[in-house]
């Protein structure tokens, strides 16, 4: 009955692992990650709706209700997670489009090839490690 499904979860670890072209095809990997991101958006939207409902029932006349404050904080976290998930979907859509037109894996900034390790860790990235770290130094403000 409860046999674990074969091959569920490739178990990719950062830094070690098989080369990019083995195991899961890149398109399938990107599509699977996109599915995950879409599911995260769905879950975030459900959480958000639930918190909006909860806030409506809590904060009618007592603005200093500690529960109301907790809900506001929680809602801010849910909104932030939701935005990240939506951004991830957009980036993965973009990566799939680039895969389809043959520009996937090329650095947007210098036009060079992005390393396989980096693509495996960050399949939706559009910059090579060199450009990314140069940019990070310039624009990483927090």
Query: What is the number of H-type helices and E-type strands within the chain?
Result: 4, 0
Q: How many Å apart are CA 68 and CA 70, to the nearest integer?
A: 5
131 binds Zn ion (CB under 5 A): yes
Nearest 10 degrees: Cα torsion 57, 63, 66, 70: 70
128 binds Zn ion (CB under 5 A): yes
**Site track 58-97 with Zn ion (rule: CB under 5 A), x = hit:** ----------------------------------------
Q: How many Å apart are CA 140 and CA 128, to the nearest integer?
A: 16
- Which is closer to Zn ion, CB of 42 or CB of 108? 108
Q: Which of 28, 39, 97, 110 lies at the binding interface for Zn ion (CB under 5 A)?
A: 110
Contact footprint for Zn ion (CB under 5 A): 107, 109-110, 112, 128, 131
């Amino acid at each position: 009955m409860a046999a674990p499904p074969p091959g569920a979860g490739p178990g990719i670890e950062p830094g070690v692992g098989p080369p990019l072209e083995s195991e899961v095809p890149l398109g399938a990997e990107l599509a699977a990650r996109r599915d995950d991101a879409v599911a995260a958006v769905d879950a975030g939207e459900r959480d958000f709706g639930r918190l909006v409902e909860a806030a409506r029932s809590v904060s009618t006349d007592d603005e200093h209700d500690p529960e109301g404050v907790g809900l506001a904080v929680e809602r801010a976290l849910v909104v932030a997670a939701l935005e990240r998930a939506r951004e991830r979907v957009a980036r993965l859509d973009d990566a799939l489009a680039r895969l389809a037109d043959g520009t996937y894996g090329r650095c947007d900034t210098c036009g060079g090839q992005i390393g396989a390790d980096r693509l495996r860790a960050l399949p939706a990235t559009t910059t090579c490690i060199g450009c990314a770290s140069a940019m990070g130094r310039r624009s990483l403000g927090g």
